[in-house]
Amino acid sequence: MGNGEMDRRELCEPYAEVAFSDIASPIIDEAIEQTKEVAGDPSAEGLHQLRITMRRLRSLWWSYRPLLDAGENTRQRDLFRSLADSAGKARDYDILIALLKLQQKDEKALPPEISAARQKALDAGREVLSNPETKTLLLEALAQTARALVARQDREPLRVFSDGRVAASEKQLRKRMRRAAKAKSSTVAAFHDVRKAGKKTRYLLELFGPVLSGRHRKTLSRLKKIQKRFGALNDVIASEKLLRDNTSLIAAIAKPERTLKWFRNERERRLRAAAALLRQSQK
């Protein structure tokens, strides 16, 4: 099913506790297949898609958190975060390389040190993702959560549950947007919080879309615009940090001071664009 969305015909059970397996199983299967592909022949797009899948799993487990043991739910979400990070480290270098090519369009080819750093991050990720235990951990998380939910005495209609959890994520997003709108333009943490909350809300809207009431539909179109602009901002922030945390990479770049200045200016430009979108959304 595209984007993990549930087909109406497959929602045989009207209860959230029982429907969990119908929602989660295809995403877990997708994650297992993606880990195999990335471990065997990693591509920039493959790494990106795997990281998205892990974030969708984290969002789904977050939505079911009120029905589950808090400690176990946190442990499982940490597993998805760890696997996303394993794919994400190499992906971060792909983004850095793309931005450096944009900045140094009239310069020579990028120094080999950057490709070497990307390869090192990729090798570390492949070691984790190619481990047979990764598949086992994903399947265990699915089975354990499904058992815990089915064993519950209470039952909550799936639509009521879905509406409630999406509404909770939307409320969290609005709160973070208001906070970021009031923050100074240089406060990147507030903007990052908006981006994370927006991603979670969007994934939940996609996952539960077929059973949600109509009041959530407008949110999805707004989120796509937010994600695009805030994602562009995050790309620059993360890449600038990656450079500053690796002095050997800065030293290898031709005219490093000019490069760092470009990243600072680009960060400020994208911060202003993100802030403008927030102000517009508050009207």
For residues 149 and 173, membership in a common domain is answered with no
Residue, of 178 and 76, whose pLDDT is higher: 76
Cα–Cα distance between 164 and 111 in angstroms, integer?
Answer: 51
Find tokens 């005495």 and name the residue: 153
Over the stretch 197-210, which tens digit does the pLDDT of each residue have? 999 999 999 999 88
Q: Which amino acid is at 96?
A: L
Do residues 104 and 110 lie in contact, with contact meaning Cβ atoms separated by under 8 Å? Answer: yes
For residues 141 and 189, membership in a common domain is answered with no
Domain range for 209 is 157-283
pTM for this structure?
Answer: 0.86
Confidence check: pLDDT of 87 > 90? no
Among 78, 85, 86, 84, residue whose Cα is nearest residue 61 = 78
What are the distances in angstroms from CA 38 to CA 44, 119, 131, 262?
9, 13, 12, 32
For residues 232 and 131, membership in a common domain is answered with no
Q: Which two tokens stand for residue 176?
A: 């973070």
Residue, of 120 and 80, whose pLDDT is higher: 80
Q: What is the pLDDT of residue 283?
A: 62
Average pLDDT taken over every residue of the chain: 87
For residues 177 and 139, membership in a common domain is answered with no
**35-46 average pLDDT score:** 82
For residues 21 and 127, membership in a common domain is answered with yes
Give 162's contacts (C-beta < 8 A, 6+ positions apart): 16, 63, 204, 208, 211, 212
Q: What is the pLDDT of residue 108?
A: 63
